[in-house]
Amino acid sequence: MATKSKIEWTQSTWNPVRGCTRVSEGCRFCYAERIAARFSKKGLAYEGLAKMTKAGPKWSNEVRLVRELLDAPLKWKKPQLIFVNSMSDLFHEDVPLDFILDVFDTMSRAEQHYFQVLTKRSEHLVKLSSEIQWPENVWMGVSVENQDYTFRIDHLRETDAHVKFLSLEPLIGALPNLDLTHIDWVIVGGESGPHARPMQEEWVIDIRDQCQQADVPFFFKQWGGRNKKRKGRTLQGRKWNDFPISYVGNGV
């Protein structure tokens, strides 16, 4: 059975990789790190891959391959949007190429689903792209939290992925003059959790306007903050729930 997700832009999660390491400023207050630390204290799903310290949660720097979950999506008959590795990064340097190819093989065979793969390690992604057979039901995305990491968008453009998307979250800085050439979808979201950094409304409006000018579907996930539900996800009086044109469903 698929793991249902509360993430606004997907329906389920699939985690054949667990554990990660911080790679950029957007990782500072990682939600996955907090979740892993909480569960590892009980010896449950994440098996000590993160722990709680006096300074807060911290990854153990171990990345574990969960081979027994590789075929899981093949058993899920109901078509759905699936976020791949919500608790890790498929293109982490410690994930071997053969395992990445096994994950892509499963996604190719599970053609009833759409898979959303997201990475901050765009250098590794573009390096491996030519080794991958890219199925049409796989959406490849990169995270960009501020202007220091817009190079990830250029790396994404160099891949052969059929659908390319940006996750501009946690958005911690303005992103003017984005190059949205060959980008099929943009998600924007503020940081959530006890140490959430604020997101300015003008940053979001500017990105929304850039998407409209470039005819790129725009999805506004949340304002974030310590209590993200209280702040909601309405921008200028409405919710923005656009998806890539390849998605034939009616949202999530």
Lowest mean pLDDT among 45-49, 185-189, 243-247: 45-49
Q: Calculate mean pLDDT across residues 219-247.
A: 90
Distance CA 130, CA 223 (A): 37
What is the per-residue pLDDT across 114-126, written as a single tens digit (0 to 9) for each? Answer: 999 999 999 999 9
0.85 cut: is pTM over it? yes
- Percent of the chain having pLDDT more than 70? 93
Residue at 247 is within a domain: no
Statement: residue 47 has pLDDT above 60? no
Statement: residue 249 has pLDDT above 70? no
Q: Calculate mean pLDDT across residues 141-149.
A: 98
Residue at 250 is within a domain: no
Smallest CA-to-CA distance from 167 within 209, 223, 119 is with 119
Residue at 56 is within a domain: no
Number of domains within the chain: 1
Q: Calculate mean pLDDT across residues 18-47.
A: 75
Distance CA 156, CA 164 (A): 7
Residue at 53 is within a domain: no
Q: What is the mean pLDDT of the chain?
A: 91
Query: Residue 54: its pLDDT value, please?
Result: 74
Residue at 80 is within a domain: yes
Range of the domain at 105: 3-13+69-231
Residue at 29 is within a domain: no
As beta bridge partners, residue 14 has 84
Query: Residue 44: its pLDDT value, please?
Result: 46
Tokens 């725009």 sit at which residue? Answer: 218
Distance CA 27, CA 33 (A): 9
Residue at 46 is within a domain: no
Q: Calculate mean pLDDT across residues 201-223.
A: 98
Phi, psi of 162, rounded to the nearest 5 degrees: -75, -35
Q: Sorting pLDDT into bands at 50, 70 and 90, what band is 202?
A: very high
Residue at 198 is within a domain: yes
As beta bridge partners, residue 167 has 143, 187
Query: Residue 248: its pLDDT value, please?
Result: 59
